[in-house]
Amino acid sequence: MSKSTKAEGRAFINGQYVNSMSGEVFASYSPIDGEFLTNIDACNEQDIHHAVLGARRSFESGVWSAMPLQERKNVLFKLADLIIEHEEELAVLETLDMGKPVSLCLESDIRGGAHAIRWFAECIDKLYDHMSPNHQGIGMITREPIGVVGAITPWNFPFYMAIWKVGSALAMGNSVVVKPSERASLTTIKLGELAHKAGVPEGVLQIVPGYGRVAGAALGRHSDVDCISFTGSHTTSRELMKYSSETNGKPVHIEAGGKTANIVFKDALNLEEAAQVSAQAIFYNMGEVCFAGSRLLLPDDEDFIETFLSKVKNYSEYWQPYNPLDMQSMAGALVDAAHLQRVENFVQGALDQGAQLFTGGKIKHPDSGGYYYEPTILTGVTPDMTIAQEEVFGPVLSVMTYQDEEDAIRIANGTDYGLASAIWTGDLNRAHRVSRAMKSGNVWVNCFHGGDMTMPFGGYKQSGNTRDKAFTGFEKYTQIKSTWIALGLRILVNVNAHSGAS
């Protein structure tokens, strides 16, 4: 695909592209080759305030929040259609911006985003409220849009993660202010334009790019924002919680990464498939995935380990990084030079702590001007090593061994994270037993990243406090109202009693 796609870097506020009030910008360079892409607005507190006020006006006016449900559905369906119409442009933008292979951007992120929008839209008139089972009055328990949603999105799936937040929040009738990651903003900025063309009224979806420490902090501190939805590091999530406590106490919904254990038992039904999927689980998207299967747990059996790892190594060759604009490429560049250095440091640190390099461990295409790192497998990793505890967010697989099922569970649960876990076994009792024991929000048995839009996604422990997708994904963008209507006869009897009537 062509690199000629024009990149828009301005904020999208109140239905149009505008420059930041300060005029400040920062340069965006492609991780593919280091070439300049465009200047992006470095929005500040004034820009955030302007966007939030516009979102508040649009919400209170009812132009979207009170729109008939079928009309709101039709607008979101139109947005999904426009995403598909612009799918190649969006896929190329995403690839140029964060280095992901364009084929994966096209299929998973852009088409997947359009599918998610349609799913959210279809739910709009399927989410029923409740009534209290009481004979003394009519008790109605209803969900209403929470108001102005502040969404702060990550750089690894910039368009798709924006859709998860924007789609469900808009479906419920909210107005949304999005602060995309400064590392990958371009497709989210484009989303604002497409939403407006689809019929989303001005002010209902605001896109405000900028640095997290400035624009993101301002959104978190703003007292007219009713909730924050954040995907990123747990360090930033703590800052957002602090901002909330210092201002209006808004709920802060976070998804903050993971350290997924991928446990292979000897009784796995298909070890060949398990090895192939284990490679994909960590090397897909260059390992820049919150639920990446970064910890491979194998039984302490030398013959089994040697056989299984040789298969994983063979499948890792499918994920060697190449030019991500090539439709045949399965892996591309890491997001920037700082992240490449971070991944290198993790690998070196593991080696210093006693791990062994089984394969990989080198920078690829150093003369390209981009940031490429080959699939890497480390053996001899122990649970106390830094690389076994902290999120690398790169194509680095840590291989660990366990003595028995109980030991595997202990190692798998032995981190501060709890986003996901995977189990490979042919024993149905073991599948249920180990699944129940996993302290993670997602458990996949004989697969990896199983499920669809009907399955909630989120984590335990420091991986987060919320869920995206499914019906539960709408809850954080609503608030519950209890309405009690007394029955007329009861009112009449009470009035008569107080007036002394017989």
Per residue in 47-65, pLDDT (tens digit) is: 999 999 999 999 999 999 9
Enter the tokens of residue 368: 């390209």
pLDDT digits (tens, 9 = 90+) for 106-157: 999 999 999 999 999 999 999 999 999 888 899 999 999 999 999 999 999 9
Residue 492 has pLDDT above 80, yes or no: no
Widest Cα–Cα separation across the chain: 98
- How many contiguous H segments (helices) and E segments (strands) does the chain have? 16, 23
CA 445/CA 452 separation, integer angstroms: 15
CATH code of the domain made up of 11-256+464-482: 3.40.605.10
pLDDT digits (tens, 9 = 90+) for 482-491: 999 998 755 4
pLDDT of residue 1: 41
**Average pLDDT value over all residues in the chain:** 96
pLDDT of residue 496: 54
- Counting residues of the chain whose pLDDT is more than 90, the rounded percentage is 95
Residue 105 a catalytic site member: no
pLDDT of residue 3: 56
Three-state SS for 270-302 is CHHHHHHHHHHHHHHHHHCCCCCCCEEEEECCH
For residues 391 and 259, the answer to whether their CB atoms sit within 8 Å is yes
Dihedral sign, Cα of residue 379, residue 385, residue 390, residue 392: negative
pLDDT of residue 488: 72
Strand residues in 350-435 grouped as ranges (E): 356-359, 363-364, 372-373, 376-379, 396-402, 417-418, 420-424
CATH 3.40.1280.10 for domain 261-445, yes or no, is no
Residue 165 has pLDDT above 70, yes or no: yes
Residue 290 a catalytic site member: yes
In this prediction, residue 6 has a pLDDT band, given cuts at 50, 70 and 90, of confident
pLDDT digits (tens, 9 = 90+) for 358-387: 999 999 999 999 999 999 999 999 999 999
pLDDT of residue 501: 47
> Looking at 255, 288, 374, 391, which residue is catalytic?
255
Three-state SS for 210-233 is CCHHHHHHHHHHCCCCCEEEEECC
> Looking at 239, 290, 374, 391, which residue is catalytic?
290
pLDDT of residue 16: 98
Residue 174 has pLDDT above 60, yes or no: yes
The helix (H) or strand (E) run that includes residue 444 is strand 442-445
CA 124/CA 44 separation, integer angstroms: 34
**What is the rounded (10 degree) CA torsion for 263, 265, 269, 275?**
50
Q: What end-to-end distance do the CA atoms of the chain give, in Å?
A: 87
In this prediction, residue 502 has a pLDDT band, given cuts at 50, 70 and 90, of very low
Residue 464 DSSP label? B
The structure tokens 């298969």 sit at 311
CA 335/CA 28 separation, integer angstroms: 11
- Counting residues of the chain whose pLDDT is more than 70, the rounded percentage is 96
pLDDT of residue 376: 98
pLDDT of residue 487: 85
Query: 401-414 burial by CB neighbour count: b if 16+ within 10 A, else e?
Result: bbeebeebbebbbb
Comparison of pLDDT for 499 and 252, the residue scoring more: 252
CA 386/CA 353 separation, integer angstroms: 8
Per mean pLDDT, which range of 6-10, 27-31, 207-211 is the poorest?
Answer: 6-10
pLDDT digits (tens, 9 = 90+) for 326-347: 999 999 999 999 999 999 999 9
- Cβ burial of 428 (10 Å; 0-12, 13-18, 19+) is exposed
Domain spans, the chain = 11-256+464-482, 261-445
Residue 2 has pLDDT above 80, yes or no: no
> What's the pTM value of the predicted model, to 2 decimals?
0.94
